[in-house]
Structure 1
Amino acid sequence: MPMTTQQALVKVPAVTLGFWLIKVLATTLGETGGDAVSMSMNLGYLVSSAIFLMVFVAAVYWQIRAAEFQATRYWIAIIASTTVGTTIADFCTRSLGIGYAGGSALLLTLLAVSILAWYFTLGRVDVGSVNTPSAETFYWVTIMMSQTLGTALGDWVADTEGLGYLAAAEIFGGLMLLLLALYKFTAVSRTLLFWAAFVLTRPLGAVVGDWLDKPIANGGLDLSRYGASITLISAIVVLLVLLPQRAAVRAH
């Protein structure tokens, strides 16, 4: 179906089941990809964060420059946001020495500041309002903050609380199902539910990514981070082909 003029002005995808499936895979890729650079290549969290931040800024600039929604540009920017989120979260929680609880609190504060600044500047923070360069800028800053917070939350639950990766994945998966029930059966703000789900998919992907590549002694499968990352990229490409993304409808 041809894209309408209203849809073309919104350069982020409609929120569908396909969107969430690809988002979880992208966040898992962010974990394995981020760890591959910071740990496997032994570059450290600070250098890796600087590298991924430059990639993220370039990807967002490329996305904002587009005249209309393009799925490839969008998901490249999402993957860039989740890899930089991985290394920044690890830097905050490990290198700064404030721990997962302190890191999560700091990142939650930054996410709240981002959303509030967006709201008070433009008046709304829903996906359908992302149709100007200013809204896109706020959107992508908020995306990066949510990805970073999600990484810290995933590590906090899986490692600090000693639950392990699979148990942590069950917890975050259960919370996603709770949000789905709230969406289906209540009148809770759809915007609030979207951002809550967006944050929660990140720790879900983070713990799954850790489960794939962490040592068996630590509860992981000890798979190659490079191999896991390539597999996840392939899966994302397949889903983008099988489940084409369409632009969100412009908010009025």
Structure 2
Amino acid sequence: MTYETQQPPASDGGTARVRWNKVPEITAYFWVIKVLCTTVGETGADYLDGQLGMGLTGTSVVMSALLVVALIAQLRSSAYRPGIYWLVVVLVSIVGTLITDNLTDNLGVPLQTTTAVFAVALAAAFLIWFTTEGTLSIHRVDSVRREAFYWVAVLLTFALGTAVGDLLAEQLSLGYWVAALLFGLVIAAVALARYAMGLGAVLSFWTVYVLTRPLGASVGDFLSQPADEGGLALGTVITSVLFLVVILALVVFLAVSRRDVTEREQVVSRPAA
């Protein structure tokens, strides 16, 4: 199934169909909102788990259910809708965080193990995606199957990013601010390799997508955690609300301006001779 709409007959007598990409164009807005979403994923999960007393299991069940509802709405949409898309990203960020936290805190799985497992799982998802579709391009997420691969990969990047971030910031005792600086430097190095050395677009994108998760989470922890734990003690509520307000403002702006809408592809079907 592809996301297509019928258009008037083409000038050569065929029928023109428009195929819509279901994900946004990669702009500065994309990366800013992505980092903000990862921060909310970290602080939001902490708030739901701790402040509301839902526990990891209860929080995981509720947020997973909300993610399923939002994801169904996203899959049923015929084109990219900023509000729905970024709502799914926020929920995926929270659920990805909870998956790693459940494995670490409830089941006692070491962060080194979860990091390795999620890295292998993400590589396998990319392999299956490429083998099935022949491309990993995010500019051609124009069918239900491709979008399903896309969201599986996104979920795994959040789970992997959570494990990597916790491993460096907490278990290796680097601290939140140092970890954020380290991830920022690695992202800058990937960007340099992309634009100065010709590193592949697909590899560059997904590498940065993984790294922005621990970057955002480290920033969120730095802002929200108590001072005696290396944070600024703003708390999870203030941090989450602040970032959600900024996300909402940017999403509304993009919905109105349509600056991140990928140009549609026109497919012409010609009548049989």
- Which interval holds the TM-score relative to the shorter structure? over 0.9
**CA shift digits 1:17-37 (9 cap, x unpaired):** 111011001110111111111
Q: 2:261 aligns with which of 242, 247, 250?
A: 247
Please name the residue that 1:132 is paired with: 143
Give the SS at the match of 1:13. coil
Aligned length: 249
Q: Name the aligned partner's letter for residue 185 of structure 1.
A: A
Contact 2:26 / 2:260 at 8 angstroms: preserved in 1? no
Partner Cα distance (2:50, 2:62) in 1: 14
Give, in whole Å, the separation in 2 of the partners of 1:167 and 1:236: 25
Identical columns (%): 35
Partner of 1:117: 128
State the distance in 1 between where 2:224 and 2:61 align: 23
TM-score of the pair, normalised by structure 2: 0.86
**Alignment pair present for 1:90 and 2:120:** no
Q: What are the within-5 Å matches in structure 2 for residues 203-242 of structure 1?
A: 203-242=214-253
Aligned partners of 2:46 and 2:236 also within 8 Å: yes
**1:31-67: CA deviations, max 9, x gaps?**
1111111122222222222222111121111111111
Instruction: Give the AA of the match of 1:73.
Output: I
| Structure 2, unaligned runs of 5 or more | 1-15, 268-273
Pairing 1:3-82 to 2, within 5 Å after superposition: 9-82=20-93
CA contact (8 A) 1:216 1:222 kept: yes
How large is the Cα RMSD of the aligned pairs? 2.0
Distance (Å, rounded) in 2 between the aligned partners of 1:225 and 1:204: 17
Task: Select 1:199's aligned residue among 201, 205, 210.
Answer: 210
State the AA in 1 paired with 2:208: A
Distance 1:153 1:239 in 2: 28
Equivalent position of 1:148 in the other structure: 159
Between structures 1 and 2, the one with greater helix share: 1
Contact 1:107 1:149 in 2 (8 A): yes
Deviation string 1:197-243 (CA, Å, 9 cap, x unpaired) is 11000000111111122221111122221221111111112223455
User: What do residues 170-200 of structure 1 show as CA deviations (whole Å, max 9, x unaligned)?
Assistant: 0001011111111211221100111001100
Query: Is the 1:131–1:250 contact (alpha carbons within 8 Å) kept by the matching residues of 2?
Result: no
TM-score normalized by the length of structure 1:
0.92
Q: 1:106 aligns with which of 117, 124, 138?
A: 117
Amino acid at match of 1:246: D
Q: Secondary structure at the match of 1:48?
A: helix
SS, match of residue 150 in structure 1: helix
Q: Which amino acid aligns with 1:157?
A: L
